[in-house]
């Protein structure tokens, strides 16, 4: 309904340079993709170098050294022929890996990246929701606004604190507390064909 995010959400590896080199060495010697067909080697080395540069945050010299030591020995075809990479080729791929629009494959499934991706998606959804279904004037409580937003998301829940932070970041609005009840003044939820009532998104509301 709203579209999909094309840019992957990822985080960089954490830890000291020594720790990151150790993890990168394991990645190169055990976990990195080594195609059986040398024709796919160009694609594979770009993935590897991108991960070392952008995820593990390693410099060109260290990247070249680690690939020569841990990755090149694995670059062997089924019949035993080596297609190891020269230092010059690795350095050229390192420069390419720094270009805009090239992202690492590592760091995407990190719990921090997953949480960030969910937050960014919620922000994008709220912007759409706010444009379509929130109107100036009136008032609405945070609980009622949350119920409408969850209904808009097809029942996917969101914590009150996260929604409050997102609303503040997107709109600048903060709830006030007159007479001991939190509410947003100056906005209300419009009636829609989606079943969201003019204030809550739940049938029978009289907010």
Q: What is the pLDDT of residue 192?
A: 56
CA-CA-CA-CA torsion for 64, 66, 68, 70, nearest 10 degrees?
Answer: -160
Q: Note the pLDDT of residue 195.
A: 53
Residue 184, strand partner residues: 140
Per domain, the residue ranges of the chain are 17-97, 131-189
Mean pLDDT by 10 residues, the chain (207 residues): 62 96 98 89 96 98 98 90 93 95 92 90 94 92 92 92 94 89 90 50 37
Per residue in 108-154, pLDDT (tens digit) is 989 999 989 899 999 999 999 999 999 999 999 999 999 999 999 99
Q: Nearest-CA neighbor of 129 among 185, 182, 190?
A: 190
Matching residue, tokens 């990247």 = 63
pLDDT at position 196 is: 53
pLDDT at 7: 81
- Burial zone of 172 (CB within 10 Å; 0-12 exposed, 13-18 middle, 19+ buried): exposed
Quote the longest CA-to-CA distance of the chain. Answer: 80
Q: Where are the beta strands (DSSP E) in the chain?
A: 134-140, 184-189
Two structure tokens written together for 187: 């906005």
pTM of structure? 0.69
């Amino acid at each position: 309904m709203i579209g999909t995010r094309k840019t992957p959400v990822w985080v960089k590896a954490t830890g000291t340079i020594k720790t990151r080199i150790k993890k990168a060495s394991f990645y190169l010697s055990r976990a990195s993709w080594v195609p059986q067909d040398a024709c796919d080697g160009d694609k594979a080395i770009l993935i590897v170098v991108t991960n070392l540069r952008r995820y593990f945050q390693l410099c060109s010299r260290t990247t070249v050294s680690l690939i020569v030591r841990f990755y090149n020995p694995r670059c062997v075809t089924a019949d035993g022929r080596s297609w190891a990479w020269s230092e010059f080729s690795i350095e050229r791929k390192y420069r390419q890996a720094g270009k805009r629009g090239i992202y690492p494959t590592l760091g995407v499934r990190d719990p921090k990246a997953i949480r960030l991706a969910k937050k960014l998606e919620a922000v994008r959804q709220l912007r759409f929701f706010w444009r379509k279904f929130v109107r100036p004037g009136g008032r609405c409580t945070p609980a009622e606004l949350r119920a409408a937003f969850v209904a808009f998301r097809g029942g996917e829940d969101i914590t009150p604190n996260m929604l409050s932070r997102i609303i503040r970041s997107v709109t600048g609005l903060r709830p006030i507390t007159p007479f001991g009840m939190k509410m947003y003044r100056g906005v209300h939820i419009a009636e829609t064909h989606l079943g969201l009532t003019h204030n809550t998104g739940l049938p029978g509301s009289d907010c």
